[in-house]
Amino acid sequence: MLTSLQGKSVLVTGATSGIGLGIAYGFARQGARVAISARHADKVQGVARRMRDEGLQVEGFVADVAQGAAVRQLLADVAGSHGGLDVLCCNAGVFPSASLEQMSEADWDGVLATNAKGNFLCVQAALPYLRQAEYGRVILTSSITGPVTGFPGWAHYGASKAAQLGFMRTAAIELARDGITINAVLPGNILTEGLQDMGQEYQDSMAASVPLRRLGSVEDIASAALFFASREAGYITGQSLVVDGGQILPESLQALA
């Protein structure tokens, strides 16, 4: 049994859908005070209202994590509302697809700005508040794509997700001085809205490449984030946890026959 997260202040960026929303629900259901953020006010407030209607402690904030001034204001607003910050979940990310031949400089810069620079800006802005916490925690949502695997059309995405881990390892050394840990969750194929839109046949084909024979759920990722946020994970920092049902293990599909 992990120590309760009741009353802890948690910020989850990119939390209006998919994995981010799943992480937000995970913390809120454990009694944490959760702040969710995203770029679109109507969506953020709609999701926050729906979660509050379910009896959860949730507030919505609007911010683009690629913009330094907006991020600093976001962290000040969350900490001001909650009386501090205990856990930062850097989940905001974009994943457009473009081949190397067709990818523009703007395409590349846009993905790296949100997925990589956004982590740096959020962690930097959160430091004054995390230092004041009983024990500060930072959790990054990375991916198996980039750090472990590759996929056509996602060169910029893969580069950004690998960059997160390089950032994390040095940040872990610096944050350790203040007793703050930083770790990353690397999801495999998770059943989110985007994957659902691709149809059942595609979902079945992806599940067939996973040794556990199913796609992951957002709850699977939330569980990993909850562990990293716990008091019990206090001696773990600068580490990455692959949550993929064993997807990266087989040498070929023949191994699963």
Q: What is the pLDDT of residues 167-206, one digit of tens each?
A: 999 999 999 999 999 999 999 999 998 777 778 888 888 8
Please compute the mean of the pLDDT values over residues 135-147 and round it to a whole number. 98
In a domain, 2, yes or no: no
Q: What is the mean pLDDT of residues 215-242?
A: 98
Task: Establish if 231 belongs to a structural domain.
Answer: yes
CATH number at residue 135: 3.40.50.720
Question: CB-hemisphere CA count at 13 Å for 234?
Answer: 10
User: Is 21 among the domain residues?
Assistant: yes
pLDDT, residue 77, reads 98
What is the separation of C-alpha 167 from the centre of its chain, rounded to a whole number of angstroms? 15
Q: Cα Rg for the chain, rounded, in angstroms?
A: 18
Q: Which residues contact 79 (CB under 8 A, 6 or more apart)?
A: 9, 85, 129
How many whole angstroms separate alpha carbon 238 and alpha carbon 184? 8
pTM assigned to the model? 0.96
Looking at the domain assignment, is residue 78 inside a domain? yes
- What amino acid positions are annotated as catalytic residues? 157
**Does residue 13 fall inside a structural domain?**
yes
Domain span at 71: 7-244
What mean pLDDT, rounded, does the chain reach?
96
Residue 253 maps to a domain: no
pLDDT at 9: 98
Q: Kindly report, residue by residue over 65-102, the tens digit of the pLDDT.
A: 999 999 999 999 999 999 999 999 999 999 999 999 99
Total structural domains in the chain?
1
CA distance 214 to 203: 9
4 DSSP assignment: P
pLDDT of residue 227: 98
For residue 242, the one-letter residue type is V
